[in-house]
Structure 1
Amino acid sequence: MVRYSDDFRRKVIAAARESHEPRSQVARKFGVTPATLNNWLSTFYAENPQELEADNQALRDEHALLLAEQEELRNQLPWLR
C-alpha cells in the first residue's frame, strides 16, 4: 500500500476543491485513484464541516450567477425561449 505525505494530500485536496474538473480527472492528474481522493475529501470535510459549508455556499453563489447570466442571454435573444 502506498503511503502519501500529508503535504501531498493537502495539495491534492486543495486542487480538487479549487478545480472545476471532475474529481476523477484531478485524481488522475496527481496519480491517485478517484476512490482515494474521495476518501481524503470525506475525511477532510468530516474534520472541517465549516469548509464543506463554505464550498457549498460558493457553489450556490456560482449557480445563481450562471442562472442570472442565462436569463440575461434569453432576454437578449428572445427566439431561444
Structure 2
Amino acid sequence: MARYSDDFRREVIAAARQSHEPRSHIAQRFGIAPATLNNWLSEFYAENPEELEADHQRLQDEQARLLAEEEELRNQLPWLR
C-alpha cells in the first residue's frame, strides 16, 4: 500500500476542491485511485465541516450565476427557446 505525504494529500484535496473536473480525472492526473481521492475528501470534510458548507455555498452561487447568464442569453436570442 502506497503512503502519501501530508503535503501531497493537501495538494490533491485543494485541486479537487478548486476544479470542475470529475474526481476521476483529478485522481488520474495525480496518479492515485479515485477511491483514494474520495476517501481523502470524505476525511477532509469530516474534519472541516465549515469547508463543506463553504464549498456547497460556492457551488450554489455559481449555479445561480450560470442560470442567470443562461436566462439573459435566452432573452437576447429568443429563437433558442
TM-score class, shorter-chain normalisation, is over 0.9
Paired with 1:78 and 1:29, the residues of 2 have a C-alpha distance of: 41
Output the CA distance in 2 between the equivalents of 1:23 and 1:42: 13
Aligned twin of 2:30: 30
Distance in 2 between the 1:46 and 1:10 partners?
15
- Post-superposition, which runs of at least 4 consecutive aligned residues in structure 1 deviate over 4 A? none
The unaligned stretches of length 5 or more in structure 1 are none
Percent identity (aligned): 79
TM-score by structure 1 length?
0.99
Alignment-derived partner of residue 46 in structure 2: 46
Separation of aligned partners in 1, 2:30 and 2:3: 14
What is the alpha-carbon distance in structure 2 between the residues aligned to residue 78 and residue 16 of structure 1?
37
1:5 Cα offset (Å): 0.5
Q: Which residue of 2 aligns with 1:76?
A: 76
Which residue identity is paired with 1:71?
E
Distance 2:2 2:74 in 1: 51
Distance of 1:80 and 1:6 partners within structure 2: 49
TM-score by length of 2: 0.99
Alpha-carbon distance between aligned partners in 2 of 1:79 and 1:30, rounded to the nearest angstrom: 44
Alignment length (residue pairs): 81
